Chain A
Amino acid sequence: MGLDVSFDIFIVIDLIIMSMLLVVGIALVRLNNLFAVVMLYGVYSLLAAIWFVSLDAVDVAFTEAAVGAGISTVLMLGAMLLTSREAKPTPALRRWLSLGVVGVTGMALFYATFDMPNFGDANSPANSYVGLQYMYDTITEVGVPNVVTAILASYRAFDTFGEVVVVLTAGLGVMLILGIGTTRTRDGESPQSGDETTQSAPPVTTVLATENHHIVLQVVAKILIPIIVLYALYVQFHGDYGPGGGFQAGVIFASAVILYSLIFGMDETRRAIPAKVVQFGTALGVLIFGGLGLVTIAMGGKFLDYDVLTAADPILGQHVGILIIEVGVLVTVASVMLSIYYGFAGRYRELKDQDW
């Protein structure tokens, strides 16, 4: 550090990205226009993803790009369409109070930095203890080149099971509160839902239109969507070898369907993937994942002990186990993303171009 002769370009890149994150963060706090806020969130996530790449955390970067910059931007826009485009300005007192809390939190973190190990220190606890052991043991114990996948899907598979349940819970929340839009909400499907929201909302504008002059978009989408789905499958099954896995693949798959619905309309999408199927899928993934845990117990092992899946070859058992649970992750994540999208999309009318 300091005035070292060796000049590390990555330090410069990190510093630039971090200052950009800071600027975007401050802009986010100061803006009242929700559309701009949502867009800046996307920018923030993308910057974070780039930063993670520079930190060699490619899997995390991939997830951040797919979830943070990709699908949550779409979902946030969907949510914004249901409410308002402008946030009410915060009262001054509350603003200062929040600043105080943030300031104290920041000071606590700053206070901690003095005793933190140096950046990239090979002898830091995080790099030398359990982390190092994963690096040594993965190839003999799990037999998967991507250590991140080994940790996520085998060593700490139970955490991942919990995360998939978290995703399911979020999906259930949206389905319970907004409905999944099995029929158009306009027909008064669920009486208690949404009359107030739509009244208080400004005239909604959406990009859902099926006019003929979208023909260019339609042709392009028809070419793109199969490729996106194919890519999702690649990410899914290549997760053992490179960055990727069920979470990212599920999100990519869901975004292909969302793209389809933006261009061909919600009705077409519901015909292709009915809401009932989506609802079933949210639970199915958890059932696959948890079911495998029960199977391993039935076969004489512990919960999610893949070694017992194949009697002769524990490494093969690990491969089979990881493959199965990643499918579970894919199914639940993709279905929940779609259920949230269906929930939002079911709440507003499809507008024609002239309504813009």
Chain B
Amino acid sequence: MNFIEMITNAGGGHLLANAPALVVAIPLIAGAVAVVLGHGKLAWVWSVLIALVTFGFSLILLQSVLGGETITYAMGNWPAPLGITYHIDALNALLISLVSAMALLALLYGWPMVEREIDPKKHAMFFGTFLLCVGGLIGVAIAGDAFNVFVFLEVSSISTYVLVAMGAQKNRQALTASFNYLILGTIGATFFVIGVGLLYMATGTLNMADISRILADSEGNRVVRAAFAFIVIGLGLKTAMFPLHTWLPNAYTFSPSMIGVFLASTATKVAFYILIRFLFSVFHAGASFETAMFDFVLAPMAMVAMIVCSVQASFQSDVRRLLAYSSVAQVGYMLLGLSLGTAAGLAAGLLHMFNHALMKGALFMAVGLAGLGLGITRVNELRGLGKTMPLVAAGLTVAGLSLIGVPLTAGFISKYYLVIAVLERGWWWAVVAIVVSSVLAIFYVGRMIEAMYLQNPPTPSAAHESDPPIQVRSPVLSMAALYVLVIGSVWFFFDPSLPKGLADTAAGLLIGGGGL
């Protein structure tokens, strides 16, 4: 018996040792399988299963780096500068778990929407593309090799363009939205790869830890500085850094409901992560050109985004577009935290990234459900939703309050830490920007809440004024997914230890010694 147990343990251990490769390879291979499956619902069940397995592997990774350890995995067993290595620490383990969890939730949430919005013949390929996108995003987050990052950035980006375009059955503008995203995204990817090429020219290696080591020893070099500029702009496009965000509002507005949920909570986050990785681990935050970039470009742009895009959000009539502009503003918060260049700022930015993923995911889910039940797409159509769809309206409200940063919601925690970090640097004017942006958030979230609770639902012409409004039921699984995120948005106010601890550990690693 012992012998059998030993083998199982050994086999299990081997499987766990390969978790870094499997967490990327499984969704990618499963995406190809989904294409072959051909049948719509079967492909959905398969995708849910795969997302569950991926989430399991990401939790294993997360658990093994909680204390600040790092895991290195050599693809094909080739040692570091020769082969491709994966590098997992507190920073990207958080992100990998976020992406796989959101993939699972979006899939659980999405079936009724997909069934309505997408031609049944395309379901299998649609879910296949979705799994490729998940694998691509995790691949970007986990890679410790600059060129490998580019390859997986392409996998995730191209699949995203396709998924956004699938909204065409609902609204043909999805096609132009996707095309704009494709052009800008490709420019971003090209800039990034030019930067990586220049880094290779200057260092002779593609391994990120190796590049970092060589750059630390070398004095200022024009090739490195140009590489820095290309990489920041390329990734800035992907992160929707103001003013490079113009692709985002339309892409989020016209994508299929399920894809809107997934993108809003993962795509820009992964790009934000890789930007951090390059700024702090590959390049060195102490370098003079980097500090100058933080103070004179990143921080001002972040604040402009926080204010201008919040104003733009206030004037939108389409709910999803409102949320999309708010996303650009929230990216501003994260970038502001990053631009402080301190451990506290970085941790606040990362925490806000995590919290924003929860609340924006919940908001897009609630809006999607309102759309499914009542065909709602505009803010004024939300009127009376508190009566017709009370649970959806409640979820929307809680997530909206978290977006403002009201106490008792997770959004408060991250804004609180951000303000503290900003004050530590003595940037009082940044606090002003945070306050102004939050007031604007009260305005645009308030418009939705006001419509939902203070206005009466539209009465069908046949019914009497006095009739109680008809309640519309939502699919159970979708509601469950929505409430996981809503409860998360409250839970992480009372117990932010997990994301806060990971963000602090990650920030410590990054500021401390590069973290690679």
Contact = CB atoms under 8 A, between A and B. Distances in A.
A284 B22 CA distance: 19
B204 A130 contact: yes
B154 A166 contact: yes
Nearest to A173: B162
B95 to A, nearest CB: 18
Contacts of B165: 173, 176-177
Determine which residue in B74, B152, B204 has the highest number of CB atoms from chain A within 10 A of its CB, and name it: B204
B425 interface: no
Contact of A283 (B22, B32, B172, B229): B32
Interface residues of A, number: 61
Contacts of A108: 226, 229-230
A294 B32 CA distance: 14
B122 A176 contact: yes
A130 B82 contact: yes
A112 B33 CA distance: 45
Given A125-B202, A297-B21, A306-B76, A190 B119 contact: yes
Nearest to B191: A105
A131 to B, nearest CB: 7
A176 B162 CA distance: 8
B212 interface: no
B25 A192 contact: no
A302 B78 CA distance: 9
B216 interface: no
Contacts of B355: none
Contacts of A300: 14
A126 B35 CA distance: 40
B204 A302 contact: no
B78 A166 contact: no
B77 A112 contact: no
Contacts of A124: 201, 204
Interface in A85-121: 108-109, 111-112, 114-117
A163 B136 CA distance: 11
Given A134-B82, A303-B75, A190 B222 contact: no
A159 B222 contact: no
Contact of A168 (B18, B84, B132, B226): B132
Given A128-B204, A287-B32, 12 more contacts: A108-B230, A126-B204, A130-B82, A158-B84, A159-B84, A165-B31, A165-B135, A168-B32, A169-B129, A173-B161, A291-B29, A293-B21
A-B pairs with lowest CB-CB distance, top 7: A125-B204, A129-B204, A112-B226, A162-B151, A303-B21, A290-B29, A173-B162
22 contacts: A117-B201, A125-B201, A125-B205, A126-B200, A129-B81, A156-B84, A158-B83, A158-B148, A159-B84, A163-B151, A165-B31, A168-B35, A168-B132, A169-B129, A170-B158, A283-B32, A284-B32, A286-B29, A297-B21, A301-B77, A302-B21, A304-B76
